[in-house]
Structure 1
């Protein structure tokens, strides 16, 4: 066959125009199929054929080439079994674009010139047991693209046993935030830690398993993942599941272990990375307090000396050196208790005889003003702390019960504002508002009588804060009251605003099957993750329900938190 119309060939070298861009095909070189030059040579074919070929030869001079062809192999680490590893060698540093198709919508993985493809690039986002096509292209420093001549084929193994049963519906799929939903999945087993990534159809396309329950996870700027486990450890892993770094709390009950010891009693719930590369984590300290409460329902119950656990915020270097520490005992009132202070939370985690005063469950560093937001569940309060001085800047939440010295730091609700209770995960939005996941538990503080679960509901809620005036106005919520579609989350959960669509992604934590008249710790048996439009009223865009079929109630699936990543690659 002759060359296509508009194409000039000589000695296996062909030049033709597509959309005004010269495409050079080297039929005689099997290592790559085409190079796309950035230049726009309009009218090139009006030139003599010899001149056109000379231009083509100049366009490819020095372009990156595959010196070893791409090949793909299973990930050798069984902790991330759906991932694969792509290797090749190039004639110079290149950017790599991997296109994955064959299981759901095609997607791309992009790796920069700092990555060495001969050492392996993760291939991610593939469905278990499905055949996928893997196309590879490289781009050199001058912007020219070389594409591998043929797609590779790869089929990941089946899902391992014990994976969460996920059911997805998408009433407004066309309005979804693009990307993959990453979920910290929990069961009743303390020895199963599980992160999963699901696509828009709810198929698991990446997973990581470890031997200790995972709470929070955060993505580092280099694409690695930081996570906090029930063993009072913080791990940094790459997307192939390899442990890159490990830290543990020096005061944990099980003592020393692998990794670097950090001077705090525990690591729990939350981890964050600061712009300077240091890590910020929740820790704890214990103090013995005389004449302390013994009941959260009877103010007149006999008091006694109690060992009380309070929260710390610990900043430490990657070498494990603590460079900043904030202790709630030094800044808040330990006699302002909350419901579940005497629920045995820390006793179940290896600290007998210790009661749980503040129960922080989230922290977030705000680079805009060098501050830290800390969510205290049992205080039903979010506290802003000045990172430089440690001073409490303000306290957001129901103002009752705070001592006189805190009054100038409390917010006042304005308009039709309803406060949160036993909340999780404050999320400052780009618009200057604050999203909160409001578990809505108890709807009261000691020693007020609590509402039963059947008369409460959980929601995502957004407030507009006037920090100088200390006013908070509720401007959006996912649910507006108990109803046929409302749920009660007894623990965990988060809410985030999506960057492209402005939708709100809500993870509902641990949900009760049938909310009754009594609050029970650890009673959540299922979960859901929902994406709503940021409208009045909100509309349901997408939902993932994780729920087992065991009618005995012995099976539980919960989500500590979830987020949406635009890509599984950095």
Structure 2
């Protein structure tokens, strides 16, 4: 009887395994069928449900759990450290993806607050940061180490009675990867640069696909990530970073959106499906990158992403809003539903190897908190436009009128500047002077590649690229050019693709000429908008083809405190 039950249980288990495998296989076949046999709301426009099915974001806890485990280990290490600054435990690259970071675990007999100094080669490259609060157990995060040397880091401990003591620690780092390329300093005037309090702000070269890194005022690498980052590198309201990376380093596509920080600790990760029908044979599926150029945080803290929506015909013309906690898609905006049909059905401006039509090529967006508008840049239409985010109703268009149906001319902004030169193939749209602008008037900063893809061709086209600012009266629908810089640098700094222009403080703008000299060079130029004087200038050369610096951003290594929170992060 006992033998009979053993045989019966074994048979049942076998049936469950076989049945489970069959069910999984059946689900896979159903999903494949639904991806191939796409549902359309009307010709060329996918249904919202089909887009949600195609992209299917999913929360992943793998990296969150692994970095949580490291935090737990460091918590235990801190408990074991003996009291006294000379007994500290020093760790380089604590979260294993940011080699120029460190962690100092130290206990003090009395409650103290801590000031951190990362010694630089010059006063302008010495980084200082003050930690908040008095405590006896300290987990001091260190950012801004040099590559390939023994770094000196001093902690100053101050008791409540004002007594201070100092201890200097050494942190040895390996050389930076050669693939970062060579960064050659051409100009540096630190007193006139926007370096932030304690010189904590670096110039970050954000990669198209490769190494993203930060430079100090002397053009020295002071931070980089070993994670392959593609286009998206943003600071969120909670001071974390948002990056677009690969689910696995071995994969060819970047389909992991990750909330992380400069240390490399992971707080959330959303994996995208990216298995879409091919243009040549829609019955076959191929891996695609879903998030391609930009991601922003909305006022409700959800994330708005520029995506490929899974169409077998079109790319880079859709946005999705995902819930920050669950990763589920809350809203879909298909630009084919907003812009004229002729824009995507008669597009011939560019061609892709896979045969799909990149008619819009959305590369940036910014949300206007004052009126709820979303401002969008589309390179291949040489167009910036505003829609009401809630209703998706078109508000205005900044573009030359050529090839735009007359029914859309009512949305065009009218130039007040004489001989106004329209933007061509522009990037990196951003609001500036937001505290000064009224509800009707906005100042818009962007990088004008000056390469007309669809409209606006002039004799000046392709002769230079420039950072520009325009003032837009949204009520009167007028546009006035108020600032431009780049023409004097001429054709060597003309960039057919990529680029950025961002205000960074002190009346300065940082311009990233990411594809200079036909993609052989990237140049980062900080210029004072009032005087036109360059205060910082670095040339980047010797990098791999395709690893152009998509954007140049000035960001603080320490947007908050250097005190690391070693508590576990919820994975729910």
Q: Which residue of the other structure, out of 331, 337, 361, is the alignment partner of 1:330?
A: 337
Q: Which residue of the other structure, out of 172, 183, 189, is the alignment partner of 1:155?
A: 172
Q: What is residue 543 of structure 1 aligned with on the other side?
A: 537
Q: What is residue 422 of structure 2 aligned with on the other side?
A: 419
- Comparing 128-137 with 310-319, which one deviates more in the overlay? 128-137
Q: Does structure 2 retain, via aligned residues, the 8 Å contact 1:427–1:434?
A: yes
Q: Which has the larger radius of gyration?
A: 1
Q: Which residue of the other structure, out of 356, 359, 382, is the alignment partner of 1:357?
A: 359
Structure 1 Cα separation of the partners of residues 547 and 171 of structure 2 = 31
Q: Does structure 2 retain, via aligned residues, the 8 Å contact 1:425–1:495?
A: yes
Change (3 A) 1:139 1:150: closer
Structure 2 Cα separation of the partners of residues 139 and 449 of structure 1 = 63
Structure 2 Cα separation of the partners of residues 286 and 359 of structure 1 = 15
**CA drift at 1:172:** 4.0
Paired residue total: 444
**CA drift at 1:134:** 2.0
2:226 corresponds to 1:209? yes
Q: What is residue 74 of structure 1 aligned with on the other side?
A: 92
Q: What is residue 552 of structure 2 aligned with on the other side?
A: 562
Q: What is residue 239 of structure 1 aligned with on the other side?
A: 262
| CA shift digits 1:157-202 (9 cap, x unpaired) | 222342320001226443111131111134xxx5xx3210110111
2:479 corresponds to 1:477? no
2:392 corresponds to 1:390? yes
Please give the residue correspondences for 1:300-379 in structure 2 after superposition, counting only pairs within 5 Å.
307-309=313-315, 311-318=317-324, 319-336=326-343, 341-344=349-352, 347=353, 352-379=354-381
| CA shift digits 1:255-289 (9 cap, x unpaired) | xxxxxxxxx9821111111232211111233557x
Q: Does structure 2 retain, via aligned residues, the 8 Å contact 1:74–1:85?
A: yes
| CA shift digits 1:288-310 (9 cap, x unpaired) | 7xxxxxxxxxxxxxxxxxx2335
Identify the structure with the greater helix proportion: 2
Change (3 A) 1:449 1:382: closer
Q: What is residue 102 of structure 2 aligned with on the other side?
A: 84
What is the SS of the residue equivalent to 1:491?
A: coil
Please give the residue correspondences for 1:288-303 in structure 2 after superposition, counting only pairs within 5 Å.
none
| CA shift digits 1:379-435 (9 cap, x unpaired) | 111111212212122111223322233222210112232111000011211154211
RMSD: 3.3
Please give the residue correspondences for 1:17-36 in structure 2 after superposition, counting only pairs within 5 Å.
none
**CA drift at 1:132:** 3.1
Structure 2 Cα separation of the partners of residues 317 and 138 of structure 1 = 42
**CA drift at 1:544:** 0.8
Q: What is residue 43 of structure 2 aligned with on the other side?
A: none
Q: Which residue of the other structure, out of 527, 530, 533, is the alignment partner of 2:528?
A: 533
Q: Does structure 1 retain, via aligned residues, the 8 Å contact 2:349–2:453?
A: no
Change (3 A) 1:434 1:93: farther
Change (3 A) 1:547 1:340: farther
Structure 1 Cα separation of the partners of residues 493 and 255 of structure 2 = 31
Higher relative contact order (CA 8 A, sep 6+): 2
**CA drift at 1:144:** 6.3
| CA shift digits 1:299-340 (9 cap, x unpaired) | xxxxxxxx2335222111121122222110111124225977
Change (3 A) 1:111 1:403: farther
Q: What is residue 501 of structure 2 aligned with on the other side?
A: 495
Q: Does structure 2 retain, via aligned residues, the 8 Å contact 1:312–1:325?
A: yes
Q: What is residue 131 of structure 1 aligned with on the other side?
A: 150
Q: Does structure 2 retain, via aligned residues, the 8 Å contact 1:109–1:123?
A: no
Change (3 A) 1:387 1:154: same
TM-score by length of 2: 0.70
Structure 1 Cα separation of the partners of residues 339 and 126 of structure 2 = 51
Structure 2 Cα separation of the partners of residues 132 and 418 of structure 1 = 50
Change (3 A) 1:150 1:231: closer
2:207 corresponds to 1:185? yes
Change (3 A) 1:72 1:216: same
Structure 2 Cα separation of the partners of residues 194 and 171 of structure 1 = 23
Q: Does structure 1 retain, via aligned residues, the 8 Å contact 2:98–2:263?
A: yes
TM-score by length of 1: 0.70
Structure 2 Cα separation of the partners of residues 115 and 185 of structure 1 = 39
Q: Does structure 1 retain, via aligned residues, the 8 Å contact 2:465–2:487?
A: no
Change (3 A) 1:86 1:532: same
Q: What is residue 50 of structure 1 aligned with on the other side?
A: none
Change (3 A) 1:548 1:284: closer
